[in-house]
């Protein structure tokens, strides 16, 4: 029964990712992409329109959606290494196709529908291949912890995707886009969290599930702080990432006191990591913009790739938390762990 619901959650993650990717590609990317020219009032010279901070939020949503679909494949194949490899290859191909589709400027409701069908088809085929090559074998607790933490951090990264407009947004067309972004983000976050829970469910007890829920709640509160326009936004961002990491660690058989060094070290490590990713992630984002042949971002702003940054931070925080709070024992696979879920103290 446990495997059945994990497969269902994995399938829902893949379908959700494919649909959100299609909408962001064919509906919202064309809306946000700058076009035309602007005229310098002092010289009368015309210049191409440029993008600004967060103009290319549809790209982040598209890439996060592809990573969500990959998470669905990982859950279906029980995080088996061969299944993960199959999913990663498909995801890389999908990301390449995504940039190409952006380059040729696909647009419209019909295009979105066909892209959704194609995305679901690619996910389904990849999931079948991943399940077959994994031969019913699962993965170690270390692998499950890695992928679950990355999923949790990507959920947090999704929360900071925003539009380029200053608050409050009152223009009707902009309000509609803001509402659409909120819905897309909600779908991604819910399914990232569901996938994360599916990956750690084998080791959950009732007590650990309650601990995990507490940290998920803390992450949600910290996400609210990131929406403020003062210094608390930075505190909220770091708190959200640390709480997301602790939510996964809390699913393990570890004493609560051991979560303290995990929180401290992760929080300290995030400062230099985020500064580095600000520059590296902006370089990656600019390269993607160039490959897609989209107007560049204004030199005073940044073209940060949130999906790339979230993926790197997830790998970093997963590594730190695993070293500081390793499990006392590691069952060799999901299929061989006999313990029932959510019924042991």
Say how far apart CA 71 and CA 82 lie, in whole Å.
14
Q: Does 116 fall in a domain?
A: yes
Q: Does 335 fall in a domain?
A: no
Task: Map tokens 């066909």 to a residue.
Answer: 114
- Residue ranges of alpha helices (H) inside 135-258 are 141-159, 172-200, 206-225, 232-249
Say how far apart CA 80 and CA 14 lie, in whole Å.
17
Q: Does 339 fall in a domain?
A: no
pLDDT tier for residue 345 given thresholds of 50, 70 and 90: very low
Q: Which helix (H) or strand (E) holds 46?
A: strand 46-48
In the predicted structure, residue 228 carries a pLDDT above the cut 70 = yes
Predicted confidence at residue 53, as pLDDT, reads 72
Say how far apart CA 317 and CA 308 lie, in whole Å.
14
Predicted confidence at residue 44, as pLDDT, reads 58
Q: Does 338 fall in a domain?
A: no
Q: Does 228 fall in a domain?
A: yes
Q: Does 196 fall in a domain?
A: yes
In the predicted structure, residue 70 carries a pLDDT above the cut 80 = yes
Q: Does 58 fall in a domain?
A: yes
Model pTM?
Answer: 0.90
Predicted confidence at residue 50, as pLDDT, reads 63
Domain total in the chain = 1
How far CA 194 is from CA of 258, 274, 309, in Å, comes to 25, 26, 21
Q: Which structural domain, as residue segments, surrounds residue 310? A: 2-33+50-327
What integer best gives the mean pLDDT of the chain? 88
Q: Does 45 fall in a domain?
A: no
Predicted confidence at residue 329, as pLDDT, reads 61
Contacts of 173 (CB under 8 A, 6+ apart): none
In the predicted structure, residue 2 carries a pLDDT above the cut 60 = no
CB distance 50 to 298 below 8 Å: yes
Say how far apart CA 31 and CA 24 lie, in whole Å.
10
Phi-psi region of 75 (alpha: psi -120 to 50; beta: other; left: phi over 0): alpha
CB distance 217 to 211 below 8 Å: no
Q: 10 Å Cβ neighbour count for 231?
A: 9
Helix (H, G, I), strand (E, B) or coil at 47: strand
- Could you read off the pLDDT of 266-319 as tens digits, one per residue? 999 999 999 999 999 999 999 999 999 988 888 667 889 999 999 999 999 999
- Could you read off the pLDDT of 142-195 as tens digits, one per residue? 899 999 999 999 999 999 999 888 777 878 888 999 999 999 999 999 999 999
- Residue ranges of alpha helices (H) inside the chain are 2-23, 29-32, 57-76, 81-103, 109-134, 141-159, 172-200, 206-225, 232-249, 259-291, 306-324
């Amino acid at each position: 029964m446990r495997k059945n619901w994990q497969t269902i959650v994995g399938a829902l993650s893949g379908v959700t990712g494919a649909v959100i990717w299609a909408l962001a590609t064919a509906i919202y990317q064309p809306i946000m992409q700058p076009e035309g020219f602007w005229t310098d009032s002092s010289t009368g010279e015309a210049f191409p329109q440029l993008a600004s901070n967060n103009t290319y939020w549809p790209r982040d949503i598209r890439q996060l959606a592809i990573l969500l679909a990959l998470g669905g494949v990982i859950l279906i194949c029980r995080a088996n290494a061969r299944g993960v490899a199959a999913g990663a290859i498909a995801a890389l191909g999908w990301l390449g196709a995504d940039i190409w589709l952006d380059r040729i400027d696909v647009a419209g409701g019909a295009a979105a529908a066909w892209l959704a069908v194609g995305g679901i088809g690619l996910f389904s085929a990849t999931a079948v291949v991943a399940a077959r090559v994994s031969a019913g074998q699962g993965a170690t607790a270390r692998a499950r912890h890695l992928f679950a933490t990355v999923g949790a951090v990507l959920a947090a990264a999704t929360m900071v995707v925003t539009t380029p407009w200053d608050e409050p947004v009152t223009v009707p067309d902009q309000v509609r886009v803001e509402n659409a972004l909120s819905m897309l983000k909600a779908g991604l976050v819910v399914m990232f969290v569901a996938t994360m829970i599916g990956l750690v469910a084998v080791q959950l007890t009732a007590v650990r599930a309650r601990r995990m829920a507490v940290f998920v709640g803390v992450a949600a509160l910290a996400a609210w702080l990131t929406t403020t326009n003062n210094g608390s936004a930075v505190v909220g961002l770091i708190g959200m990432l640390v709480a997301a990491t602790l939510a996964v660690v809390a699913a393990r058989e570890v004493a609560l006191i051991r979560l303290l060094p995990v929180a401290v070290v992760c929080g300290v490590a995030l400062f230099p990591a985020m500064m580095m990713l600000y520059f590296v992630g902006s370089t990656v984002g600019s390269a993607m913009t160039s490959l897609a042949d989209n107007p560049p971002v204004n030199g005073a702003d940044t073209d940060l790739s949130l999906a790339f940054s979230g993926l790197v931070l997830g790998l970093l925080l997963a590594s730190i938390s695993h070293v500081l709070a390793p499990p006392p024992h590691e069952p060799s696979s999901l299929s061989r762990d006999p313990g029932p879920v959510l019924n042991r103290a």
